[in-house]
Amino acid sequence: MSKPCPARRRKTSTALRQAQGEQFGRATVARVAFIGLGNMGGGMAANLASKGDSVRAFDLSADALARAKDAGCDVAGSAAEAVKDAEAVVTMLPAGKHVREVYESAVFGNAPTTAILIDCSTIDVATAREVEEAAQANGLTMVDAPVSGGIAAAEGGTLTFMVGGSEDGFARAKPHLEKMGKAVIHAGGAGAGQAAKICNNMLLGASMAATCEAFVLAQKLGLDPQTFFDISSQASGQCWSMTSYCPVPGVGPQTPADRGYDGGFAAALMLKDLRLAMEAAKSVDSYTPMGAEAEELYTRFEQLGGGGKDFSALIKMIDDSWQAAGETAPPPPGYRMPG
């Protein structure tokens, strides 16, 4: 399980949660099992509890469980215990192998067949489809619902959910997801949520790399970063990585670049998503040269120790200022620095 997020809410009793839930209507208060309380899952579970749901949470980390308890969740001794009598089961796990293991060993056979299963992990499309088929074979309805928005959105309840599964599964999952996000979109059948997520993040990874390159080149050509931002953010080069998540400190809205590239979306997670995209592209024989180049850049950055930094810190490798183990990082193989 991934590192737990800090607690943001004081402990709330089950009775008080139910009383709070009256403002949302009795029908929306649910018994929810939440498995996986890391940086993303911890905030998501806390949001469900704050909306009045009775959340029974489980994670392998004792610290994560303690934070969940402080945030108003009840803690379970195992995943199997968490899902008993649940109306909805939400999972947020690191990889496909963890999703498969949890559902096969703990959810199937323990969760009621009336429960809606919602996997919010970002995993490969093939595994998502296989687990959803296994759920159906066990008499359960399941959707894949990966998220976009990062830690801040998870804690603030403003995530975007891309949902794959049947129309009925989407309709049943939507009320639960709406308590944790600002947008819940049905992407299509089983695995479609994962497909949308990895395609979106491949585009994000490639556009961030290009944005970093553009800022470095502009500066080497004598342009002030703020001046370049003022021009490009209103010209044809405008993109989200430029205007909303600028990789240059002190330019544009506040971003992780202003905090030493701490917080935000870790470069290691971006690399994970890029690898998933490349695996998917290979499986359907799709030509993705920009995605492949982005994967190579983030692989190099992780090898240099940048995996824990925000993915926009890639600019430090591109401008040759990244330091790993006290040494300046060389550029990636075959990469020609501008200037």
CA atoms within 13 A on the CB side of 76: 22
**Residue 191: which of 130, 232, 253 has the closest Cα?**
130
| Angle at which helices 267-283 and 192-220 cross, to 10° | 120
Amino acid letter for position 88: A
Q: Which helix (H) or strand (E) holds 142?
A: strand 141-144
Determine which one of 179, 197, 272, 309 is catalytic.
197
- Give helix then strand counts, H and E, for the chain: 14, 11
Cα distances (Å, whole numbers) of residue 53 to 24, 27, 31, 296: 10, 11, 6, 43
Residue 89 and residue 132 in contact, taking contact as beta carbons nearer than 8 Å: no
Contact 314, 212 (CB under 8 A): yes
Cα-based angle 99, 104, 108 (whole degrees, multiple of 5) = 115
Instruction: State the DSSP string of 196-215.
Output: HHHHHHHHHHHHHHHHHHHH
Catalytic, 197? Answer yes
Map tokens 């800022």 to a residue: 215
Q: Side chain identity at 84, as an amino acid letter?
A: K
Q: Please, which residues bridge with residue 75 across strands?
A: 57
Helix (H, G, I), strand (E, B) or coil at 68: helix
Task: For residue 190, give the DSSP letter.
Answer: T
List residues with catalytic annotation.
Answer: 197
